[in-house]
């Protein structure tokens, strides 16, 4: 984005677009009107199916044909739209040149999503439709210092740019997902006990210096919930119809326990940005007495449970019941339509029987503790839920600009990008 733009908005964090002061009538200047008209034309191009002709843009926006034609040319020049190939008309003859059709160019710009974990860093470069263009996954040591972890993040991001042959100037927003507590402004990590000195690093500053665009940091479970709502079982096209009500709890099982809460279709972050920190619950049933949370199931137990070993199956079922008992007060308070279990504990499809054992045990036990039990479902995104949510969060910032002032975006000609 251009450096002259105001501070980025992150709508998925609860921020709203600023309006005029109360009681003061808004004044629309010529530049503002031009930007608003460009946004209207771009919105029609993005949503129309098939690709619209100029006359259809005029009809949809109620703008004059010369105005729409000038805006379309500017959007083409900036790389935001392109002239689409004329549809085939077999056996038909049409005098004169066919009317031009316009389509959105999702590779006009890009966003970056990052998933930081104790033992890995994953970066994704995605286009403006949210489609991954390049992904870089790297293993790291769990005992890395904060600065070393930040270097691993920047190295992974550079690798995605190099792989896609995309210049850094064409990245318009970035979001980093991390374990721990994140401040309400999505600008810093307040606490991350399992990541050494990670909270001492100004990670948003580091990424802004690298990318020159707005950067946000968000809790990993929150991003996983957003990812599942966008492209998983929690969305309107997902496997659970009731999820479209917008009431969902995503439980992230990993080295640490966390959750992301969607209520009213929006992410619930709380006064300090710490909503959903179920890892601070003290679970009953023989867990660690000196600290809250649930230790992850041992990999051997998961593997044996998937192979139907009776003792391992019993251990997984007990874990599911403990999880449900600890979550019950949260579910009673929130009354979600859906609980999604997302975890990297079952990375191999062969371990799916153990995952289903855990899910079934948790749901059955929770049903007896709740007034209106929700549906339970395994994440459709698997290990990519956090990364998907990070891309979605970054796109939300770009969408604000595309909806209001798209011609303010820097969109250099895609000379370096391999198509």
Mean pLDDT on 153-179: 97
pLDDT at 318: 95
**Exposure class string for 157-190: b at 16+ Cβ within 10 A, else e:** bebbbeebebeeebbbbbbbbbbbbbeeebebbe
Q: What is the pLDDT of residue 153?
A: 98
* Residue 13: predicted pLDDT: 85
Residue 15 has pLDDT above 70, yes or no: no
DSSP run (H or E) holding 257: strand 257-263
The alpha carbon of 363 is separated from its chain's Cα centroid by a whole number of angstroms, namely 26
Measure the CA–CA gap between 91 and 109, rounded to whole angstroms.
39
Residue 355 has pLDDT above 70, yes or no: yes
Place of tokens 């929700």: 374
- Stretch 11-23: mean pLDDT: 58
pLDDT in tens, 67-86: 999 999 999 999 999 998 76
pLDDT, the chain, mean: 87
Helices (H), 48-164: 54-61, 65-77, 146-164
User: What is the mean predicted confidence (pLDDT) over 266-278?
Assistant: 90
Is 60 exposed, middle or buried, given 0-12, 13-18 or 19+ CB atoms closer than 10 A?
A: middle
Confidence of residue 416 (pLDDT cuts 50, 70, 90): very low
DSSP 13: G
DSSP tag of 53: B
Q: Give residue 21's pLDDT.
A: 47
All residues at 6 or more sequence positions from 379 whose CB lies less than 8 Å from its CB, including other chains: 224, 228, 232, 233, 250, 340, 341, 342, 343, 385
Query: For the chain, give me the number of helices (H) and strands (E)?
Result: 10, 14
Q: What confidence score (pLDDT) does residue 289 get?
A: 56
Q: Tell me which of 1-10, 106-115, 325-334 is least confident.
A: 1-10
Strands (DSSP E) along 26-169, which ranges?
Answer: 81-84, 101-104, 110-117, 120-127, 132-139
Give pLDDT, residue 4.
39
Tokens of 182: 């994140």
Tell me what percent of the residues of the chain surpass a pLDDT of 90.
69
pLDDT digits (tens, 9 = 90+) for 381-405: 989 999 999 999 999 999 999 999 9
172 pLDDT exceeds 80? yes
Of 97-101, 158-162, 257-261, 314-318, the poorest mean pLDDT is in: 97-101
pLDDT number for residue 235: 74
pLDDT at 148 over 60: yes
């Amino acid at each position: 984005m251009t450096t002259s733009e105001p501070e980025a908005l992150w709508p998925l964090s609860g921020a709203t677009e600023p309006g005029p002061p109360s009681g003061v009538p808004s004044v629309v200047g010529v530049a503002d009107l031009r930007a608003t008209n460009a946004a209207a034309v771009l919105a029609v191009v993005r949503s129309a199916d098939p690709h619209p002709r100029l006359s259809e843009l005029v009809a949809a926006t109620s703008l004059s044909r010369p105005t729409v034609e000038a805006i379309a040319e500017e959007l083409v020049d900036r790389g935001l739209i392109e002239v689409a190939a004329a549809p085939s008309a077999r056996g038909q003859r049409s005098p004169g040149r066919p009317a031009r059709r316009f389509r959105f160019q999702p590779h006009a710009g890009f966003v970056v999503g990052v998933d930081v974990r104790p033992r890995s860093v994953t970066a994704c470069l995605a286009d403006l439709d949210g489609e991954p263009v390049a992904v870089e996954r790297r293993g790291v040591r769990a005992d890395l210092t904060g600065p070393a972890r930040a270097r691993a993040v920047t190295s992974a991001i550079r690798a995605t740019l190099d792989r896609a042959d995309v210049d850094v100037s064409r990245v318009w927003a970035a979001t980093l997902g991390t374990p721990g507590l994140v401040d309400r402004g999505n600008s810093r990590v307040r606490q991350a006990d399992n990541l050494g000195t990670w909270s001492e690093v100004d990670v948003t500053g580091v990424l802004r210096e690298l990318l020159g665009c707005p950067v946000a940091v968000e809790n990993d479970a929150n991003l996983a919930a957003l990812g599942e709502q966008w492209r998983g079982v929690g969305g309107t096209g997902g496997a659970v119809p009731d999820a479209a009500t917008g009431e969902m709890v995503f439980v992230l099982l990993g080295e640490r326990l966390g959750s992301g809460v969607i209520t009213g279709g929006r992410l619930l972050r709380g006064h300090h940005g710490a909503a959903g920190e179920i890892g601070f619950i003290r679970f009953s049933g023989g867990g660690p007495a000196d600290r809250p949370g649930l230790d992850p199931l041992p990999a051997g137990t998961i593997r044996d449970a998937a192979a139907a070993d009776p003792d391992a199956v019993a251990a997984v079922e007990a874990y599911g019941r403990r999880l449900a008992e600890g979550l019950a007060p949260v579910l009673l308070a929130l009354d979600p339509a859906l609980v999604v279990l997302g975890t990297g504990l079952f990375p191999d499809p062969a371990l799916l029987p153990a995952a289903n054992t855990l899910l079934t045990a948790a749901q059955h036990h929770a049903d007896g503790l709740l007034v209106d039990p929700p549906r339970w479902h395994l994440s459709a995104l698997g290990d990519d839920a956090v990364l998907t949510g990070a891309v979605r969060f970054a796109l939300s910032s770009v969408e604000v600009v595309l909806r209001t002032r798209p011609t303010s975006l820097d969109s250099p000609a895609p000379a370096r990008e391999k198509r």
